């Protein structure tokens, strides 16, 4: 199961599109995560303040679409740090 933590780890402190995150997690978990499931979790992470999002301008090609880009916030970074510390304590 793809957890919030795995999604946040896929960002590596760089802004990413849902497509990129889906591809990264797909390689790790060896199955394609449905976009509906991914966007549900991404939106939940935005609501919690762990991610922020913005829209790019439309692509330059005809009929080009804007992309929604997500990026890790300070709260998201802190959440990951706390998870790492918890794992260290449990060793």
Give pLDDT tens digits for 42-90: 999 999 999 999 998 887 888 788 889 999 999 999 999 999 999 888 8
Report the side by side order of strands in the sheet with 68-72: 16-17, 68-72, 51-55
**Maximum CA pair distance of the chain?**
54
Geometric angle at alpha carbon 33, from 9 and 87, rounded to 5°: 30
Contact 76, 84 (CB under 8 A): no
The predicted model scores a pTM of 0.84
Give pLDDT tens digits for 2-48: 788 888 988 876 888 999 999 988 998 888 899 999 999 999 999 99
User: CA end-to-end span of the chain, whole Å?
Assistant: 22
| Nearest Cα to Cα of residue 2 among 40, 29, 35 | 29
Q: Which domains does the chain show, CATH number per domain?
A: 4-90 (1.10.10.10)
């Amino acid at each position: 199961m793809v957890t919030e933590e795995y999604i946040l780890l896929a960002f590596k402190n760089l802004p990413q599109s849902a497509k990129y995150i889906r591809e990264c997690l797909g390689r790790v978990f060896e199955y394609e995560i449905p976009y509906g499931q991914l966007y549900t979790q991404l939106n939940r992470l935005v609501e919690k303040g762990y991610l922020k999002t913005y829209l790019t301008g439309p692509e330059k090609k005809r009929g080009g679409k804007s992309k929604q880009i997500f990026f890790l916030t300070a709260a998201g970074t802190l959440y990951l740090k706390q998870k790492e510390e918890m794992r260290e304590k449990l060793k």
